[in-house]
Amino acid sequence: MHEACERAGGFGKKIFVFDTNVVINNPYVLVDGDFADNFVVIPFVVVEELDSLKKSMEAGYSAREATRIMEDLSCKRNNCGEVLLKDGGVLLFHPRLQQSMFRGLEQNPDNEIIATAFLYKDANPNSKIILISDDTNVLLKAHILGLDADRYSPASVRDSRLLHESDSINLTPEECQEIFSKNASIRLDDRKHPNRVYAILCDGNLRSDGKKEGAVCECFMGADGHTLRQINMNRPRCSFGFQPRDRKQAAAWDVLTDKKIELVALIGGAGTGKTILSIATGIQQVLNGTYDELIVSRPVVPVGDKDRLGFLPGTLEEKMEPWVEPIFDNTYAILLEARKQVELNDHGDFFKDCFKGLGMNARREEVLEAFQNKFPMHIVSIGHLRGRTLRNAYVIIDEGQNTDKLEIKTIISRAGEGTKIVLAGDITQIDIHPYGGKASNGLSLTAAAFADEQNASIIHLSKVFRSHLAEQAVRLL
């Protein structure tokens, strides 16, 4: 055991000892990481922790991927038990420790990883040994005991401005006159993020629309990143009664119904209309023939990782029902409005046929069942999307902030020709671990990665319309 420690010191400039959460955050860190000529140590206890996590609802996929990669790498060990990594680094799996090696610490996995790092430090006094972890308690104990330790930072959004509700653009009085009074678009020299809402500030004392200097109004930036236009609230946007209630919702409706925009990220707090906008536009476009089906999914993650229901019987859609109840709530609200205005509805014949025989006081379950019997709306599990190709489908992923980078990549890479992906979520309400960062979840990473793409749009919804109480909860809590 000590021979392996000494060989590590003689080989590289640094020796990294990985905690379990490093490979959970990024299962591909051993094959994609840049370790140069350094040494990477994976204690056996990490492998055993991965085995215990492989059935976990949140970390299971990452645990299985990390184990598979480690198995592939272990087959390439040399006679000394070392694996040469692609960038010249060396990987070593270190056996379990005896109790006497725990340096007086309680015998548990975290302390065993710390003790393993100390073994390499004792055997290599002239080398830099660094424990890498994302666990604050592990880092704290390592620092107190005099061990170098760094926090592992998974992929995250580097420019936090991309997560702000709205960037601003400062216009001259002449430009304000052009865009607000004449309702004309203007071209800006500096390129901005395309398909996005911008807050407008005016240099003049009084804007053409009568608002005082510094007052803010929202405008929409076109796909070229140069053409700015006013958001017309008077244009009809729905054929069955549901209308956007502010400019940001109107802009969201426009990009959701634009076939050229293949990816939409709706970011906003509870009650801002993310889900109902997504579903309403999805139903409308399937009925119009723009898309063949509406596919809806949601991460299977309980709030605060506490309310676990255990095994659920039934088909896949029946198992998903408890998690997609908010989808059904919003669908029911849309259907009620469509039934009330059926005579004025462009798709009135569809709804008349759909709800034939149902009275206006029919139960929620009856209304939803009648609709699903006639309309191609499918509830799927994110975990069952791998390997599929979704063609000409309108796909909604609700609660997108509770996905990680690997899951979101799996979802978007399923898109076939003609498919639109809509990601909706609140990046301030994250229930997954250990990924739970405002800038490191799947929704935020996608918004940042696609910010400059002409076929993508990121819309931030800020005003709460659900109720005054809901608005207070978002603002005060």
What is the DSSP track for 411-431? HHTTB-TT-EEEEEE-TT---
CA distance 260 to 267: 20
- Residue 10 pLDDT greater than 90, yes or no: no
Per-residue pLDDT band for 226 (boundaries 50, 70, 90) equals: very high
Give pLDDT, residue 143: 94
**What pLDDT sits at residue 422?**
97
C-alpha distances in angstroms, 278 versus 235, 364, 412?
A: 18, 20, 16
Residue 48 has pLDDT above 70, yes or no: yes
- Range with the poorest average pLDDT among 6-10, 118-122, 132-136, 187-191: 6-10
Domain boundary among 195, 230, 265: 230
Give the confidence band of 57 by pLDDT, cuts at 50, 70, 90: low
**pLDDT (tens digit per residue) in 424-445:** 999 888 776 554 567 778 898 8
pTM (two decimals): 0.73
Let me know whether 107 and 124 are in one domain. yes
pLDDT at 89: 84
Please report whether residue 38 resides in a domain.
yes
Do residues 125 and 165 share a domain? no
Mark whether 303 and 405 lie in a shared domain: yes
Say if residue 198 is in the same domain as residue 292.
no
Q: What is the mean pLDDT of residues 347-365?
A: 86
Question: Is the residue at 246 inside a domain?
Answer: no
- pLDDT value of residue 254: 95
Q: Looking at the structure, do residues 226 and 267 belong to the same domain, yes or no?
A: no
Three-state secondary structure call for residue 40:
strand
Tell me: do 294 and 162 sit in the same domain: no
Task: Please write the tens of the pLDDT for every residue from 443-471.
Answer: 988 998 999 999 999 999 988 888 888 77
Tokens 């490093």, located at residue: 22
User: Which comes out higher in pLDDT, residue 266 or 77?
Assistant: 266
Q: Which of 208, 166, 164 is nearest to 186 (CA)?
A: 208
Q: What are the CA-CA distances from residue 440 to residues 26, 238, 401 (Å)?
A: 12, 35, 9
Q: What CATH number did the domain enclosing 415 receive?
A: 3.40.50.300
**Whole-angstrom Cα distance, residue 127 to residue 2?**
15
361-386: pLDDT as tens digits: 889 999 999 999 999 999 888 877 87
**51 is in which domain, residue-wise?**
2-151
Least confident among 189-203, 288-302, 344-358, 392-406:
344-358
Residue 192 lies in a domain: yes
* pLDDT range class, residue 321, cuts 50, 70, 90: low
Which residue has better confidence, 459 or 337? 459
236 within domain boundaries: no
pLDDT category at 1 given cuts 50, 70, 90 is low
Indicate the number of domains in the chain.
Answer: 3
Per-residue pLDDT at 306 = 45
> For residue 418, is pLDDT > 50?
yes
Rounded to a whole number, what is the distance in angstroms from the first to the last CA of the chain?
Answer: 52
Q: At what angle do helices 60-74 and 44-53 cross, to 10 degrees?
A: 140
| Residues 123 and 208 grouped into a single domain | no
> Do 256 and 380 reside in the same domain of the chain?
yes
Q: Is residue 11 part of a domain?
A: yes
Do 307 and 429 belong to one domain? yes
Answer whether residue 235 is part of any domain: no
Task: Examine the pLDDT at 155 and tell me if it is beyond 90.
Answer: no
**What does the pLDDT read at residue 6?**
60
- Work out the pLDDT band at 417, boundaries 50, 70, 90: very high
* Average of per-residue pLDDT across 268-289: 92
How far apart are the C-alpha atoms of 243 and 341, rounded to whole Å?
A: 13
**What stretches of 75-147 show up as alpha helix (H) in DSSP?**
109-123, 136-144
Give the residue from 96, 121, 118 showing the smallest Cα distance to 42: 96
Last residue of a domain, one of 113, 133, 151: 151
Residues 189 and 72 in one domain: no
The whole-number pLDDT of residue 236 equals 78
> pLDDT digit string (tens) for 63-121?
898 999 999 999 988 887 888 887 778 899 999 999 889 988 999 999 999 999 999 99
| Whether 128 and 177 share a structural domain | no
**For residue 244, is it within any domain?**
no
pLDDT band at 207 (very low <50, low <70, confident <90, very high): very low
CB 307 within 8 A of CB 358: no
Of 84, 116, 151, which one is at a domain's C-terminal end?
151
Residue 197 maps to which CATH number? 2.30.130
For 330, the token pair is 């919003």
Q: Is residue 198 part of a domain?
A: yes
What integer is the mean pLDDT of 286-293?
Answer: 96
Under 8 Å between Cβ of 245 and 273? yes
Claim to verify: residue 299 and residue 422 sit in the same structural domain: yes
Q: Is the pLDDT of residue 307 over 50?
A: no
Which alpha helices (H) appear in 301-344, and where do they start and end?
316-320, 325-340
CATH number reported for the structural domain that contains residue 147 in this entry: 3.40.50.1010
| Average pLDDT value over all residues in the chain | 84
In this structure, are residues 156 and 436 in contact, taking their beta carbons and an 8 Å threshold? Answer: no
Q: What pLDDT sits at residue 471?
A: 75
Does the pLDDT value for residue 50 go beyond 60?
yes
Least confident of 49-63, 78-92, 128-142, 208-222: 208-222
